Homo-oligomer: A and B are copies of this chain.
Amino acid sequence: MRIVVQEQPFDFAAEATAFAKGRTDLGAVITFQGIVRAGDTGDMERMVIEHYPGMTEKALQKIADEALTRWNLGDVLVIHRYGEMRAGDQIMMVATASRHRKDAFEAAEYLMDYLKSRAPFWKKEYAGEGSAWVAAKDEDEDALSRW
């Protein structure tokens, strides 16, 4: 398992290639990338992600530990950035690997659902003179109820 919280961009291709490399017991590998969208009106210029150093790593570790307990996983990777990003930039990725696809899919969805609502990150969007904190969605909180 690897948990990374960093400001600088990460190399998705390199991370995905290295993940679970050489393992011949894992038949299913899933990656999820979260990417900055230009926004529904397309006028978002940049986004700044604030986080809570210390708690962020602790929260992500706890979520990943729980995924490893619930599913039969060969490996788990979580990378999440903070700081300034622009439309099209990669915000974060998770990767899961398991013998069969069901565990890898469920664990990846679990990681994303919890990471969205339980890891201390806050997004602020900037457009022209204006800026606004992204509001949490009820559907993201509701998504946790299935686990």
Interface residues of A in 59-110 (CB under 8 A from B): 87-88, 99, 101, 104-105, 108-109
Query: Does residue A56 face the partner (Cβ distance < 8 Å to B)?
Result: no
Main secondary structure of the interface of A (DSSP, over half): mixed
Bound CA–CA A58/B26 (angstroms): 29
Residue in B14, B28, B87, B105 whose beta carbon sits within 8 Å of that of A35 in the complex: B28
Contacts of A25 in B (CB 8 A): 37-38, 42
Size range of the interface on A? 20 to 34
User: Quick check: B13 and A38 within 8 Å, CB to CB?
Assistant: no
- Which of A30, A38, A104, A109 has the most B CB atoms < 10 Å from its CB? A30
Interface residues of A in 1-33 (CB under 8 A from B): 12-14, 16-17, 22-33
